[in-house]
Structure 1
């Protein structure tokens, strides 16, 4: 394994004016007004943190409301958030680092790394444990895991008998149960929803990517992520749990009640995130700060490198952020999922990211080639290479589909651009 790189000394971003980055300060201030008016004053959200980075500098950074409503703790620059599925891009980059070393190929059968899955069938009928299956049209490949065309699912989708089987085993639940090894064993007994490559379904696929990283590297997945990504980039507040010395910085997490209010669902004083988990979830296990996640995003915007620390090469990153859905289709044409961290029209999927293929079809301003994802607690980020733009949004409200904040934020941010690169 390559030696660990030193923390990036130049990873601290520059803070600049909106005008110097071709943006309107007055238009950016509309973000605060919008969030207060629609979400904070009404109690729909506890608090928010929004950051806009363009042309090499932070041009907008705002913290509003509470990280902990009950204790009246304000959102601060160093607040630690559950980023859930924003873990997925980090896990995907981890696998592609091994890809660059020639240790895994995208068309490798998954059974090469998980022999127990060699005979996985495709669901035809039945309920657990009595399933009728048929052989898949082709074996599941590593690329299927990265782009969610594997035939795996999430139990909380409540859509099929396969989802129900996942719920029975606790596979993919918010409160992580079991271990990666137990998940692998349990999934060997549950059929696939469809033949790999035939459809797109949001799933535990990225957790399995983490397992494969662990298997190939010969070290625990969390250790690989720390040694190869987090430590070299200086992402000191990103981890799979919050240590005692930082516990007071963990935000509370809330659940939308469907009536415009929210209830506390994870108290930061008693949260399961305060101790190392048995299950290291590459699909949704990390906590982070806005500053740390900006560091990761800046490395990607810069072609896979930041401050002398290279994660992956620019050609590999280009491969990751291209649409990998068969036939160059978008999610409207391939998705079976009842839930996703992305809306569908004009959106493809790469190797760990959603990819904007056609901004006009999204009915939002944006750029072809921007890539992004979000987390279950309504966090989100996007990277627009054409506009040299990164936006990161943090809050803690489940589910992410409760309000259209992400779409609104895109309009607010892009409308603040006064000098477009396009």
Structure 2
């Protein structure tokens, strides 16, 4: 971690490791703000971006456990804009080259097989999304309106035929709102964060946080999210977003795919709940059976076998995908030490977590550098952790 700081790869970072529910290691180093010379500390608040997705997936499964819907239900049953869908024809090079399509199911949205995409992916749909700036940023209005805009575009492919990282979990956040009658922020706060005592996690920087909110940096010359046009800027830590001027301080968009801000201890509580089979602090969010179901591979094979053309927060070979995160199928093919069944995901600012139920292990890593594809820190971290385990 210190080497990454010394080499000006990351401004600062922290890591928290627990085993059997007990903390065994914590370290932080570097700065949360280079400009203000403020240290990266245990109570530093960061943008967890796509590590929001497992939280939304838990919310979806909580409602499924209550019999509110089944996973093969079409999303059009909850969001009418998806009722008459079209998909791009194979090989399309224009957004109007389409054919009729079914509405994606909740399960396809959960597993990134829905045909939706992200603006930073390659392809015709991604380009159209980029032109319309469909990114679910904290200052882009309210969730319902953005989801309706996404529904007006065709799908990148027929649902279920491919894997492509997408805004599907954002769409599911809207489904949670429709079914529960609460905003996604309310549902998270009342049904997940309060029981888990995640007091400093929300879609906005908590009031009274002061200067604990970390600044975001990028090594790119342009947009820190523009993976299709990524160019080195020479400066490896160019400031993108900082406390006092951040849209995360007054967010109106509740992005279930990437909107949360929080501390490392808060996220560890969430990861531990997953490891413990849905329970923490005497509160049960999900049954162990549901958690086991979520952490199975829901694809026909590994991610690579489904012809992805997109960015992803994980390797694709030897990795399957469950509900809310990646699942290790074969560590050898993934080329990263680990256990079969490891469940993990990361965020665009290079944050990462995984849990290893075979070894009773959870690890959360926080930093603030976008994009997460800049350096191989995640595979290096897994190698370090597994190298330290002797039983």
- Alignment TM-score > 0.5, same fold: yes
* Alignment length (residue pairs): 377
Q: CA offset at residue 114 of structure 1? A: 1.3
Out of 116, 121, 128, the position equivalent to 1:152 is 116
Task: Please show how residues 242-391 of structure 1 align to structure 2 within 5 Å.
Answer: 242-257=205-220, 258=232, 259=234, 261-275=236-250, 277-325=251-299, 327=300, 329-391=301-363
Tell me, what secondary structure is at the counterpart of 2:199?
coil
Task: Please show how residues 148-297 of structure 1 align to structure 2 within 5 Å.
Answer: 148-157=112-121, 159-172=122-135, 176-257=139-220, 258=232, 259=234, 261-275=236-250, 277-297=251-271
Report if aligned partners of 1:151, 1:192 keep a CA contact under 8 Å in 2. yes
Report if aligned partners of 2:343, 2:355 keep a CA contact under 8 Å in 1. yes
Mapped to 2, the partners of 1:201 and 1:178 lie a distance apart of 25
Report if aligned partners of 1:43, 1:260 keep a CA contact under 8 Å in 2. no
Mapped to 2, the partners of 1:161 and 1:190 lie a distance apart of 11
Mapped to 2, the partners of 1:230 and 1:337 lie a distance apart of 35
Mapped to 1, the partners of 2:321 and 2:127 lie a distance apart of 26
Change (3 A) 1:176 1:196: farther
Matched, 1:36 2:11: no
Report if aligned partners of 1:44, 1:260 keep a CA contact under 8 Å in 2. no
**What does the per-residue CA deviation read over 1:325-373, in whole Å, with 9 as the maximum and x for residues that have no partner?**
1x2x101111423311011110000111100011111122111111000
Tell me, what secondary structure is at the counterpart of 1:323?
coil
**What does the per-residue CA deviation read over 1:135-178, in whole Å, with 9 as the maximum and x for residues that have no partner?**
22x44111001000000000112x22211211122212656523
Mapped to 2, the partners of 1:43 and 1:187 lie a distance apart of 37
Q: CA offset at residue 269 of structure 1? A: 2.1
Tell me, what secondary structure is at the counterpart of 1:187?
helix
Match of 2:371 in 1: 399
Report if aligned partners of 1:167, 1:173 keep a CA contact under 8 Å in 2. no
Match of 1:96 in 2: 61
Tell me, what secondary structure is at the counterpart of 1:155?
coil
Q: RMSD value over aligned CA atoms?
A: 1.4
Tell me, what secondary structure is at the counterpart of 1:397?
coil
Structure 1 or 2, whichever has the larger Rg, is 1
Mapped to 2, the partners of 1:295 and 1:243 lie a distance apart of 18
Mapped to 2, the partners of 1:41 and 1:175 lie a distance apart of 32
Mapped to 2, the partners of 1:166 and 1:75 lie a distance apart of 35
Mapped to 2, the partners of 1:324 and 1:69 lie a distance apart of 42
Q: CA offset at residue 219 of structure 1? A: 1.1
**What does the per-residue CA deviation read over 1:18-44, in whole Å, with 9 as the maximum and x for residues that have no partner?**
xxxxxxxxxxxxxxxxx222x111111
Q: CA offset at residue 268 of structure 1? A: 1.2
Match of 2:229 in 1: none
Q: Which runs of 5+ in 2 are unaligned?
A: 221-231
Change (3 A) 1:363 1:243: closer
Report if aligned partners of 2:82, 2:103 keep a CA contact under 8 Å in 1. no
Match of 1:15 in 2: none
Out of 35, 48, 52, the position equivalent to 1:83 is 48
Report if aligned partners of 2:138, 2:253 keep a CA contact under 8 Å in 1. no
**What does the per-residue CA deviation read over 1:290-340, in whole Å, with 9 as the maximum and x for residues that have no partner?**
100011111111110012111100000011000011x2x101111423311
Mapped to 2, the partners of 1:88 and 1:335 lie a distance apart of 22
Tell me, what secondary structure is at the counterpart of 2:173?
helix
Report if aligned partners of 2:195, 2:281 keep a CA contact under 8 Å in 1. no
